[in-house]
Amino acid sequence: MLCQKIEITVHGCSAHGSQPHLGHDAIVAASAFVMNSQCLASRVTDPLQDMVLTFNKVAAGSQFNIITDTAVLSGALGYSTVEHGALLRKELEKILRNTVAMLDCTADITFGEVEERA
């Protein structure tokens, strides 16, 4: 299986917790993306092809009463062929862009080097 590290930074707009309507919550946008991205396995990928998407680190926020403007997700994308990986990266970027835009946020995604794993 081929594997790539993923790092995603979601950018929102900070606000005080008592005025959430004045901000764009990066944590909510990042959470929505994590849920929506699972469609890669269930609706985009041929069930006969190997595919795994894992998010194993989320970092966001600094105060209990402040809506944070940044959330960082780290994870890994695994797949069976180079062609399948290209499709998955394209679709993952589309899901990210559309999900965070719906919540008035933006995001950057970085894919690491492709590694072969047993």
- What's the per-residue H, E or C state across 55-107? EEEEEECCCCCEECCEEEEEEEEEECCHHHHHHHHHHHHHHHHHHHHHCCCEE
CA 88 to chain centre: 12
Q: What is the pLDDT of residue 117?
A: 84
Write the pLDDT tens digit of every residue in 68-112. Answer: 999 999 999 999 999 999 999 999 999 999 999 999 999 999 999
Say if residues 7 and 105 touch (Cβ distance below 8 Å). Answer: no
Give the domain range for residue 25: 2-116
The CATH number of the domain holding residue 40 is 3.30.70.360
Mean pLDDT of 15-34: 96
Q: Which residues contact 109 (CB under 8 A, 6 or more apart)?
A: 6, 7, 8, 92, 93, 96
Q: What is the pLDDT of residue 45?
A: 87
Give ∠ CA 11-71-55 in degrees, rounded to 5.
125
pLDDT confidence band for 55 (50 / 70 / 90): very high
Write the pLDDT tens digit of every residue in 27-52. Answer: 999 999 999 999 998 888 888 889 99
The number of distinct structural domains making up the chain is 1
* pTM (whole model) above 0.85: yes
Provide the total of helices (H) and of strands (E) in the chain, helices listed first: 3, 7
